Amino acid sequence: MNRSPSAPGKFREACLTCPVFLTGPEFLPELREQQRRTLALIDVSECGGQTRMVEMNQQVLNNLDRMISEVEKTATESMDTTHAS
């Protein structure tokens, strides 16, 4: 995730819509925080009738949900493998 303060928001979040973006368990807190902020943005946009903003952020939210699930699954599998050894 490009968390550089100098990177404009739209570029930081571009990674979240990239199909080849990879992340790991060390970024779960940031991913969950981004998920929380994206949900809030969708809420505000829906209340304001900004349908395009809702659509764009729904895609980001779907990708965040997928990434978080995959990272959590991988982390759980790694823990199971470690404990089984």
pLDDT in tens, 13-27: 677 777 777 888 999
What type of residue is 30? E
Using CB atoms within 10 A of its CB, is residue 16 exposed (0-12), middle (13-18) or buried (19+)?
Answer: buried
Residue 27 domain-assigned (yes or no): no
Whether 13 is in a domain gets the answer: no
5 occurs within a structural domain: no
Residue at 30 is within a domain: no
Q: How many folded domains does the chain comprise?
A: 1
Residue 11, in any domain of the structure: no
Range of the domain at 64: 51-78
Report, as an integer, the average pLDDT of 42-66. Answer: 95
Residue 61, CA atoms < 13 Å, CB-side half-sphere: 14
Q: Residue 17: inside a domain, yes or no?
A: no
pLDDT > 90: percent of the chain: 58
In a domain, 38, yes or no: no
- The model's pTM is 0.73
